[in-house]
Amino acid sequence: MEISVRQGDSIWHYSQLFDIPANLIIDSNQSINPNQLSIGQTIVIPGFVTTTYKIQSGDTFWSIAQKRNLAIDALKLVNPTVNPTMLSIGQTINLPVRVTWRVVNGKEKYDYTKFQEDVRELLKIYPFLLAETIGTSVMGKNITELRVGKGSKRVHVNGSFHANEWITTPAIMSFLNDYLLSITNQGTLNSVNLESLYQTTMLSLVPMVNPDGVNLVLNGLPEQEPYRSEVLAWNNGSRDFSKWKANIRGVDLNNQFPAGWEIEKARKPNTPGPRDFPGTYPLSEPEAQAMANLTRTRDFKRVNAFHTQGQVIYYGFNDQEPPIAEVIANEYANVTGYQPVKTVDSYAGYKDWFIQEWRRPGYTVEFGRGLNPLPLSQFNEIARAARGIILASLYM
């Protein structure tokens, strides 16, 4: 919600007026000097939207504010041209409305368009949330990173490395929405106070690493050549792409990282296909490159790659993980009921590369149980487990 600065206004006055932490208002207005507002300047108040209201007989600013649990000055602020002593019946005024509802539904077919729509909506209501394009997919879709929090402890979470595991994207987006709701409504999530985590941590999310693949699984063949003919051939002529894990060039993005890549290269398919092909060289694909570049830039303390299925938490790689990795894995297990597993005969994954290069905790979490793609009937359970793990990753 945008307001216009009046004589004598301050960030701290707005904070009290709307009951929104001052630091969130400051972070939502990066270009301003919070100690020196100028009259007429536009300020965004996060966690609020405006609606309109038609004045009825007997209404006063006092009665309207009273009914909606608002300060009278909040009404004056969003109606700078209205004279409160001269209201007329039928006149339209603005009302500030605190956002207490979710924007992200989550439990629905979640393709690239839906994802981008939810990102736009969240950015509008919560401008202290930051979005950055960290690369583009083979077909030119933006790969989006979302960041929240001002702290030095940087935690990363990604989803949909594998196309038919797309349910991980709305699980991450639902968590983000609950986090934003919680800090703008002085609430807690699983009794964790997110206002203090906002100060001490920075959460980096790449909810959809493989947007072309997700759209292929959910929406079917793309129009654009050569991808249309190629994926159809690699899928043996079938238009059912529900088993597709790879990107649009038939490369398995979680077999692309330079951490034992040669081992996978020797034993996995050597041509493009729905799954497992490691590519012709490590990080050959733009989606994998974007993730590698982001990880090199951000200096993450720990990373979490969300996959389906199996209800397992993988936390080791070649004994290169630090001892704390197992402690954190056990906490993930406590909050989800999932099984912590140190190693498995697998290489060239994102978390493998992270552990190898930084010797810090990295996790592959396999959510849910059954055959991929998991049905939406598992969404609530997966979102609950994802929430537990992301929170643990922040507070541990």
Q: List residues with catalytic annotation.
A: 366
Q: Minimum CB separation from Zn ion for residue 344, in Å?
A: 12
Select the residue interacting with Zn ion from 307, 356, 387, 391 (CB under 5 A).
307
CB closer to Zn ion out of 165 and 287: 165
Site mask, Zn ion, residues 108-147, x = CB under 5 A? ----------------------------------------
Distance CA 365, CA 167 (A): 13
Q: Minimum CB separation from Zn ion for residue 305, in Å?
A: 8
CB closer to Zn ion out of 168 and 182: 168
Q: Which stretch binds Zn ion (CB under 5 A): 25-33, 61-69, 301-309, 380-388?
A: 301-309
Q: What angle do CA 369, 371, 375 make, to 5 degrees?
A: 75
Q: Which stretch binds Zn ion (CB under 5 A): 128-136, 157-165, 190-198, 331-339?
A: 157-165
Cβ 46 vs Cβ 128: under 8 Å: yes
Cβ 234 vs Cβ 274: under 8 Å: yes
Cβ 74 vs Cβ 32: under 8 Å: no
Q: Cα separations (Å) of 383 from 205, 210, 368, 390?
A: 15, 20, 10, 10
- Name the pairing type of β-strands 192-193 and 312-314: unpaired
CB closer to Zn ion out of 141 and 307: 307
Q: Minimum CB separation from Zn ion for residue 162, in Å?
A: 4
Q: Minimum CB separation from Zn ion for residue 349, in Å?
A: 9
Containing 205, the helix (H) or strand (E) segment is strand 201-206
CB closer to Zn ion out of 61 and 257: 257
CB closer to Zn ion out of 61 and 161: 161
Residue 357 CB neighbour total at 10 angstroms: 16
CB closer to Zn ion out of 45 and 390: 390
CB closer to Zn ion out of 156 and 307: 307
Q: Minimum CB separation from Zn ion for residue 165, in Å?
A: 5
Q: Which stretch binds Zn ion (CB under 5 A): 124-132, 154-162, 232-240, 264-272?
A: 154-162
Q: Is 323 helix (H, G, I), strand (E, B) or coil?
A: coil
For tokens 């909606």, what's the residue?
A: 68
Q: Write the burial class of residue 120 (CB in 10 Å: 0-12 exposed, 13-18 middle, 19+ buried).
A: exposed
Single out the residue of 298, 284, 3, 340 nearest to residue 157, CA to CA: 298
Site mask, Zn ion, residues 209-248, x = CB under 5 A? ----------------------------------------
Cβ 32 vs Cβ 41: under 8 Å: yes
Distance CA 126, CA 1 (A): 9
Containing 331, the helix (H) or strand (E) segment is helix 324-336
Q: Minimum CB separation from Zn ion for residue 44, in Å?
A: 38
| Contact flag: residue 351 with Zn ion (CB under 5 A) | no
Closest residue to Zn ion using C-beta atoms? 307
What are 330's two structure tokens?
A: 């056990």
Q: Which stretch binds Zn ion (CB under 5 A): 56-64, 158-166, 265-273, 313-321?
A: 158-166
Q: Minimum CB separation from Zn ion for residue 356, in Å?
A: 19
Distance CA 352, CA 346 (A): 9
**How many residues of this chain interact with Zn ion, rule: CB under 5 A?**
3
| Contact flag: residue 275 with Zn ion (CB under 5 A) | no
What are 147's two structure tokens?
A: 């960041």
Distance CA 316, CA 295 (A): 18
| Contact flag: residue 162 with Zn ion (CB under 5 A) | yes
Q: Which stretch binds Zn ion (CB under 5 A): 2-10, 86-94, 303-311, 322-330?
A: 303-311
Catalog residues that contact Zn ion under the rule CB under 5 A: 162, 165, 307
